Chains A and B, each alone.
Chain A
Amino acid sequence: MLELIKNTIDFLSQPSISLTMILVAFPFVFPPTEKFDVWHRKLKLHKIWTKQGGLIGLVFITLYFFLGFTDEHFSLILKKPDNVPIIFIIYSVLFFLWLSMYQAYENDKRMAAGEPVAEYYPAKEKVLVWPDLVFIEFIALILMTVFLLIWSIALPAPLEQAANPTLSPNPAKAPWYFLGLQEMLVYFDPWIAGVLFPSLMILGLMAIPYFDRNKEGSGYYSFAQRRKSIFIFLYGWLVLWIFPIVVGTFFRGPNWNFFGPFEEWSVAKVVALSNVNLSDYIWVKMLRIGLPSNPLIRESVGIVFILAYFGVIPIVLARGKLRALLEKLGPIRYGLIVFLALAMMLLPIKMYLRWTLNLKYIIAIPEAFFNI
């Protein structure tokens, strides 16, 4: 029985399956439109953001880690001192997600009933910082200090063998907060996964206040008033940020192969890599004439595909579904938003192309280090 559960979890943890589940569930759990909201409520998913929902979630995660700590393979990974923060991060990200959604749903209910939000009356009342705030800060500070002291006494900081530039560990992992980027290296070259995507993340985050011109929902928790912006942010935060970190930490073993949490990290695991470039598919497999020597002709299909993805889709959307957005925000903001959104979609697209077609590169010009 226990074995069956563990094997099931191992199976479901594969990025291809877990990501699909997350992506399918996402719009139903965080409905971006009224239509999805109808389904959200029909499926009773709004119950997640109640006290019972939170409690059930807590029990499940704790069971998961309990299972992990009692398992001979998973516990090895969980007990690595530098992985302990990831356990905190999983708990705290989910807890605070719940806490903010819980308050948002309470406020949405109030507003639907024509009442002001929970923060409204307290906001009118002024209190003195000494003692009201200074006291809370003092308590928070003491609790944090105690927590850190216990953690530091209980768990020695890791120290491995002295540095040896000739002996590389397998797997060699970046610090946990960069493991998301390292995970993206599976699907993209370093210039995208390590340079372009992080830069876009930073710039995209900075741009949020200039893109989101919705004046409602400022200074209190709410979801109904800001569905779309919260949906996009949570997609970036949970799917593009936290999820790859968790995969990179827990599920990537020797040779960066996938290992289910309860699987043994064996160096011997061989995964057949037979990835093929788009140009190979076209010229060799379909047309059977061999690769042209001029790289631009060779990669023309991929280049057209990428240009169409970033160039044509925004124009098509501007005439159709997103016309209202264009009119509201103007062409510059509109163009940047759609570009960033398409870049955010590029990761899952490439992942699925890899899993289904074994596609290596859409454009492959290794002569100029330009592979997408």
Chain B
Amino acid sequence: MADNERKSLGSRITGSMVWTSIFRTPFPTTRSERLKSILNNVFLHLHPAKLSRHAVKLKYTWCMGGLSFYLFIVLTISGILLMFYYRPTVEYAYTDIVDLSEQVPMGIMREIHRWTAHMMVITVLLHMFRVFMTGSYKPPREFNWVVGVLLLTLTLFLSFTGYLLPWDQLAIWAITVGTNMARATPFLGHEGPGAALLAIGDINLVTMSSDVRFALLGGRFVGESALLRFYVLHCVALPFIIMIMMSVHFWRIRRDGNISGPL
């Protein structure tokens, strides 16, 4: 076999039948292949194929939106792993968390999940701050800013619902402080202004066992049903909603003409 015919290991892999069946374009080397590599890949095609130079600079976007999305993915993966071990009942929740660090090999999944969650709140806040400071909420991006504010709210709720799950003192008292405020919701909380107006004759409609706080906790205090509700919200309902809103967010970034710029 002549030397010049010997192929490198890399090009053997990228030229193999398996590789070419997975990736619709060969490993990009030419300009048109590079364009196609973005368009032909379901993950990469969240991006446009071409962008203005200022938009890819770190000092313009700080990459904060992208990092928020990445942290969300890290949270999803580590969260799924945690779900293998965790049972949302008053009886088991706390001991399952203890076991996670003591019995499970390489038990830092809980740390990863918790610190990543804190980090995501920070990156989302900073992303909002960046978008404001570059004036990127101005037309045509007004609506995407609104979607962004919803994403921020959802991020905070995700973090808040997760806070209860370890079922330790920190958890239930933080959630007790937080949900006690819901008692005072105007009209809908039993200690809120206007709640007394919602009555039929002498019968109050908004009571301790029928107000928004009760709906949130599934009871009059933070107990078994609150744990289950927060678990379902945290692991299923809120991630489902936030993923839909993220899709809208990303779609709109593309439709609104990609990253904002001075032109």
Contact = CB atoms under 8 A, between A and B. Distances in A.
Interface of A: 82, 85, 88-89, 92-93, 96-97, 99-100, 103-104, 116-120, 122-134, 136-137, 140-141, 144-145, 148-149, 151-153, 155-165, 167-169, 172-178, 181-182, 185, 189-191, 193-196, 202, 205-206, 208-210, 212, 214-222, 226, 230, 233, 237, 368-370
A245 B98 CA distance: 30
B188 to A, nearest CB: 9
Interface in B38-81: 38, 44, 47-60, 62-63, 66-67, 70-71, 74
Nearest to A230: B133
A211 to B, nearest CB: 10
Contacts of B118: 82, 85, 88, 176
B234 to A, nearest CB: 13
Contacts of A208: 132, 137, 145
Given A148-B74, A165-B221, A191-B186, A369 B54 contact: no
B185 interface: yes
23 contacts: A96-B130, A100-B129, A103-B59, A119-B60, A119-B261, A122-B52, A124-B52, A127-B51, A128-B35, A129-B51, A130-B38, A130-B44, A149-B112, A153-B108, A157-B111, A162-B94, A176-B118, A191-B184, A193-B181, A194-B182, A220-B134, A226-B135, A369-B193
B134 to A, nearest CB: 6
Contacts of A172: 173-174, 176-177
Interface stretch (B5-13, B163-171, B236-244, B245-253): B163-171
A189 B184 contact: yes
B195 interface: yes
Nearest to B257: A219
Nearest to A80: B170
A155 B50 contact: no
A152 B53 contact: no
B110 A157 contact: yes
5 closest cross-chain pairs (CB), A and B:
A194-B181, A209-B142, A152-B111, A190-B184, A122-B54
Interface string B182-198: 11111001011111100
Given A104-B133, A219-B260, A369-B195, A195 B37 contact: no
A134 B27 CA distance: 14
A230 B136 CA distance: 13
B115 A152 contact: yes
Contacts of A103: 59
Interface residues of B, number: 101
Nearest to A118: B54
Contacts of A160: 168-170
A222 B138 CA distance: 14
B22 to A, nearest CB: 17
A123 B146 contact: no
Given A100-B130, A163-B167, A129 B48 contact: yes
A175 B174 contact: yes
Contacts of A368: 193-194, 196
B110 A125 contact: no
> B-side binding surface: helix, strand, loop or mixed?
helix
Given A148-B74, A168-B173, A220-B135, 5 more contacts: A123-B54, A127-B50, A127-B53, A165-B172, A230-B132
B70 A136 contact: no
Given A96-B130, A122-B53, A132-B56, A156 B47 contact: no
A195 B156 contact: no
Nearest to B196: A368
Given A133-B51, A157-B111, A92 B168 contact: no
B160 interface: yes
Contacts of B58: 136, 140
Contacts of B128: 205
Contacts of B74: 145, 148
B137 to A, nearest CB: 4
B126 A190 contact: no
A119 B135 CA distance: 13
Given A152-B108, A195-B192, A123 B115 contact: no
A82 B115 CA distance: 9
B119 interface: yes
B156 to A, nearest CB: 6
B178 interface: yes
A126 B31 CA distance: 13
Nearest to A137: B66
Contacts of B145: 206, 208-209
A175 B172 CA distance: 11
Nearest to B178: A174
A369 B191 contact: yes
A116 B138 CA distance: 20
Contacts of B129: 93, 96-97, 100, 237
Contacts of B167: 162-163
A230 B174 CA distance: 33
A8 B169 CA distance: 35
Nearest to B60: A119
A88 B261 CA distance: 29
A125 B46 CA distance: 21
Given A131-B34, A133-B47, A172-B173, A177 B121 contact: yes
A128 B193 contact: no
B169 A169 contact: yes
Given A191-B192, A369-B195, A174 B52 contact: no
Contacts of A214: 138
A148 B74 CA distance: 10
A128 B94 CA distance: 50
B66 A119 contact: no
A100 B133 contact: yes
Contacts of B112: 148-149, 152
